[in-house]
């Protein structure tokens, strides 16, 4: 479980450090992909929820994409 927690923290830091703040206009949406070693639905939900809070945005959708052992968390996020 510690590995999953570390992956979530790493993805969150990547979101903060490498986020494109050019889309500061209202109504803009973007997709964020985060690639922990294994995407689990509830961890993907938490990662996207944290991204929404950090960017003052609304998470429209989140899901795991890709093969089971090499999947990524995909967050569809829109500005408030």
The confidence score (pLDDT) of residue 78 equals 94
pLDDT, tens digit, 9 for 90 and up, residues 42-66? 989 998 999 899 889 999 999 999 8
Tell me, yes or no, if the pTM score tops 0.75: no
Flag the least confident range among 19-33, 44-58, 63-77. 19-33
Least confident piece of the model among 2-16, 25-39, 65-79: 2-16
Q: 59 and 48 in contact (C-beta within 8 Å)?
A: yes
Q: What are phi and psi of 25, to 5 degrees?
A: -70, 150
pLDDT at 57: 92
Cβ neighbours of 54 (radius 10 Å): 12
Name the domain count of the chain.
1
Instruction: Assess contact for 54 and 16: CB atoms under 8 A.
Output: yes
9: containing domain: 2-79
């Amino acid at each position: 479980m510690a590995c999953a927690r570390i992956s979530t923290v790493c993805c969150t830091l990547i979101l903060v450090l490498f986020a494109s703040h050019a889309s500061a206009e209202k109504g803009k949406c973007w997709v964020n992909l985060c690639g922990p070693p294994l995407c689990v639905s509830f961890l993907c939900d938490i990662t996207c929820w944290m991204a929404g809070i950090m960017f003052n945005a609304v998470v429209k959708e989140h899901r795991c994409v890709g093969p089971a052992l090499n999947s990524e968390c995909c967050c569809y996020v829109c500005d408030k």
